[in-house]
Every structure is written in C-alpha cells, then in structure tokens.
Amino acid sequence: MKKASILMIIGPLFLLGLYVFPLWNIMLGAPQYPEPLGMNIFIDGIKGVSEFDIQNIDGLNHYIGMRTLRFFEKVSYTWFMGWFVLMSILGVLGMYDFNAWMVDYGTNLDPNAIMKLTNPDGTPVSYKPPLFGHVKMLNFDVTSLPSTGAWLMFAGMMMTIIAFFVGKRSWQPKSKASAVRPIKVKTNDK
C-alpha cells in the first residue's frame, strides 16, 4: 500500500479520539476552592473534571444569572487537499461557533439574578471564558485550552496534509527518461 494511502487511512482514525477524549478543558480556580473547578467539553456533552464540578459551577452561575450548563448536541490528490481545506474551514467555523456560544452564555444573564455586578462604566460584567489562555474573572482564575481530543484532531489533519505531499511526490516522474512515452501504432490502410 502506498504511503499516502496509509496516512490517509490513519489520519482520520485520530478523529475517533474525539469520542473518548475531551475536545476542550476549562478550569476555574479561586481562593475558596483549593481544588479548581473544571469542565471537560466532549463532542457529545460537558462533564466535570471532578464529581461535583458541574453542580458547583451551575450553583455559582445561578447567583450571577447564567443558565445551567446543558449537555449540548452539535455536530485525485486534489481530493486530499480539498479534505484538508474542508476540515480546516469546519474547524475554524466550529471554533467561531464555540466562541459565540461562550459569549452568549457569559453575557445573556437573568435580569432577576441574585447578584448584579457592573463594570466601572455601568455595563454588566461579562463572564465569558477566554477561547484560549487565562483570564481573571472577579476572584476566579479561568484557563481555557484545547484538550486531548483537539490535539488528536490536529494530528489527523496534519497526517492528511502530509499524505497529500507524499502522494503528490510519488506520482511525479523522477526524470524525463522515466516518463511514459506514447506508443506508435501502425495500421494497415488499404
């Protein structure tokens, strides 16, 4: 079997890791929580890092008017490059959608919430976690980073692009001497 074919078979297998490993991880650390609260976001739902993390996060979110966390329900060698481009576009659109979900979740607050916090300019405080990195929200240190599933997806995509270049190279003639030449056929014309 050719190298490009093997890579094209193995690359998408990495995507199977999305059903086992979390795609993203968000950790919330504060002085009153010696062990940070955390959530792992899988392609088929959200689970707490520890047993009661989701309940504790939902309990805290209740005070500021955020909704409860719900399990969400989402979802030729030119072909190789096309597959890579498609996966890249869908990945970027997925990250855009995930960020839009976080903006809505962190800013669409219940007007009847127990606590109503505002910025110095009078606008309501946003509780949107960062897409990447770390931010301080009130007394919480919030970190949001890709998790194992995202890295497996990235590895699968990289194997697809490597398969494209390996396959393209194997189909190009090494020199003019090894190039295929047309065969001349003689016909009997009467």
Higher model confidence: residue 77 or residue 46?
Answer: 46
Largest CA distance in the chain: 101
182 domain-assigned: no
Alpha helix locations (H) across 65-190?
78-107, 148-171
Give the pair of three-digit tokens for residue 145: 């980073």
| Residue 47 included in any domain | yes
Give the pLDDT confidence of 158-169 residue by residue, as tens digits: 887 887 777 777
**pLDDT tens string 104-146:** 888 888 888 888 888 889 888 888 888 889 988 888 899 988 8
The DSSP bridge partners found for residue 118 are: 124
Question: Does residue 181 lie within any of the structural domains?
Answer: no
* 61 contact partners, CB below 8 Å, separation of at least 6: 67, 68, 69, 127
* Gap between the Cα atoms of 35 and 25, Å rounded: 15
Domain-located, residue 24:
yes
Q: Which residue has the tokens 């009997």?
A: 188
Taking only the tens place, the pLDDT of each residue in 60-77 is 888 888 888 764 433 355
Helix, strand, coil percentages, rounded to 5, for the chain: 45, 20, 40
Rounded to two decimals, the pTM is 0.52
Residue 96 belongs to domain spanning:
3-158
Structurally, how many domains does the chain consist of?
A: 1
Asked if 135 contacts 84 with a C-beta cutoff of 8 angstroms, the reply is no
Would you say residue 163 lies in a domain?
no
